[in-house]
Chains A and B, each alone.
Chain A
């Protein structure tokens, strides 16, 4: 250890990165979805992942969140937490949260209840049975409702929300979990222009306290939020850098435009 006393549950980011992926490979039926991929995400940064279809973006998120086990490689959260030893709920409770490509909220529950379920608290069955919201928790939900702009709709069932509102609600649910890393898969799909702008503001306001990894196809949106962009291609990192650097990289152009 490097001399820093860690409390249980605390993530050691003393060396900078919060996520370490090294030489990760995943194959389905001979198809290499990830091929010796190595990637580092710094604490507090907002990173955008781009790449053509089938580049392995979603598989990468599956590996980080425990949904898919890699065939080889290592995945660490901070310097001490080995994510490959943990299952999805454990990883989520450790502070890595994920928004799915397709918005998945609980249609039958109200907006408020959706956020309540996401609330960071004891998530055991018995504790949940007797759970009662205290004042601080109520305030936190109100705060998030405000952040995602759904205060008015708090007691409506989530099923009646528009596509964009569902995306925000899901981001809100991520926030309720007090994550250290947020993995956000295609956050602006199906949003109007104004909604896209608000989403960009929202994500920008969130960086710093937490690391955010955004997967997105919309280059304009990526340009508006990202300082640092990683391009994936055929399961490994093609290049990294600022948006301008990346966009002018001949290899990236070739990948996107073909020969």
Chain B
């Protein structure tokens, strides 16, 4: 389907472009108090939503299009985040509390004498930028290669993906891993030489998140509309038939799984400088399940549905946790139940059905 005929895709792109251009520019140009001013808080909040949208969209590729309910997708997000966090840690240099030029504070605190080998290279942005999608990609490749080749499917696959992220959660809690243990990585100072707390950097990060989300949307859209996209959807609906047509189903699953893991890694890398911290709780199984609910609410199997779902749910989360924190889990739980029982296609599916009924 050509982009110019795809109204939904065009409007999603237009809204994204508007958010990622107008909001940061208004934040920088207008003074606080002006009706056109967007606060820095809004800027970083929107930036966070956009990275979640990217994360949700990447899960949708795996779940909505290929039918693999991955309950450990947050692990890839967190790994990307850690890769970015390591770069940001190395940028602190001697400005840390202990003033060690080489070692991050937590290593000095643990009495480590030298930088672990896997921390080398992260002082270079280009290196970190590669690791941001390479590390999640490699993990997804190894895990997927083992799982898909031995035809672990359905619920079993969901449960072992959950076990994967749970194992990583436990591992990253350990100080010996060299990723800051419980506290994770934080107290960042600079990104690419600019103060990472400043308004202009925050505005740029929002812009970058928006642009990368748009780019990822276009690439993903191209993929799901390609023949590979059709094979993947066919696998979701009739895995056996696809196999008897001569396709190596496991390779297609692996391809889409690795691609989605890389997108999730990029989302994590954009998320970390905007919130200023990455810690092991990002690996918790609950986080991965929350991603699933974004996609379920928005409507799986449509890329923009996942984006809409991610933004809506997180907006609701911001509102509710600010207003009545104890309500949030009730709300999230009830949404899980209602959406799966009453709205299996999510909001977008519901909307499309309404439109079709009106046409008829």
Contact = CB atoms under 8 A, between A and B. Distances in A.
Given a CB threshold of 8 Å, the question of whether A touches B is answered with yes
Interface of A: 65, 67, 88-89, 92-93, 97-98, 100, 104-109, 113, 116-118, 120, 123-126, 128-131, 173, 177
A98 B244 contact: yes
B245 A129 contact: no
Contacts of B242: 117
A106 B247 contact: no
Given A89-B249, A92-B244, A128-B247, 16 more contacts: A67-B240, A89-B248, A92-B246, A98-B244, A100-B240, A100-B244, A105-B241, A117-B227, A117-B245, A123-B248, A124-B248, A125-B251, A128-B252, A129-B227, A130-B226, A177-B245
Contacts of B230: 109, 113, 116-117
Contacts of A89: 243-244, 246-249
A65 B244 contact: yes
Given A106-B233, A128-B226, A128-B228, A88 B251 contact: no
Nearest to A98: B244
Given A106-B234, A117-B227, A129-B226, A124 B241 contact: no
29 contacts: A89-B243, A89-B246, A89-B248, A89-B249, A92-B244, A93-B246, A100-B241, A106-B233, A106-B234, A109-B233, A113-B230, A117-B234, A117-B242, A120-B246, A123-B245, A123-B246, A123-B248, A124-B248, A125-B251, A126-B255, A128-B226, A128-B228, A128-B231, A128-B252, A130-B226, A131-B226, A131-B227, A177-B245, A177-B246
Question: Top 4 closest A-B pairs, CB basis?
Answer: A92-B246, A129-B228, A93-B246, A131-B227
Given A106-B237, A109-B233, A109-B234, A88 B228 contact: no
A124 B247 CA distance: 7
A88 B226 contact: no
Contacts of A116: 227, 230
Contacts of A128: 226-228, 231, 247, 252
Contacts of B233: 106, 108-109
Is the interface on chain B under 10, 10 to 19, 20 to 34, or 35 or more residues? Answer: 20 to 34
B340 interface: no
Given A104-B238, A108-B233, A125 B243 contact: no
A89 B243 CA distance: 5
Q: Please report whether the interface of chain B is mostly helix, strand, loop or mixed according to DSSP.
A: helix
A253 to B, nearest CB: 35
B87 to A, nearest CB: 30
Interface of B: 223, 226-228, 230-231, 233-234, 237-238, 240-249, 251-252, 254-255
A177 B242 CA distance: 12
B231 A117 contact: yes
A116 B234 CA distance: 12
A106 B67 CA distance: 14
B336 to A, nearest CB: 25
A125 B240 contact: no
Nearest to B252: A125
Contacts of B252: 125, 128
A88 B231 contact: no
Contacts of B241: 100, 104-106
Contacts of B228: 125, 128-129, 131
Nearest to A94: B246
Nearest to A65: B244
A158 B240 CA distance: 17
A107 B248 contact: no
Nearest to B234: A106
A118 B245 contact: yes
A88 B227 contact: no
A56 B293 CA distance: 45
Contacts of A107: 237
Contacts of B227: 116-117, 128-129, 131
A92 B249 CA distance: 13
Given A106-B234, A117-B227, A129-B228, A123 B240 contact: no
A106 B246 contact: no
A129 B238 CA distance: 19
Contact of A92 (B231, B234, B245, B255): B245
Among B231, B238, B246, B247, which residue has the most Cβ atoms of chain A within 10 A? B246
Contacts of A123: 245-248
A131 B231 CA distance: 12
Nearest to A183: B244
B252 to A, nearest CB: 5
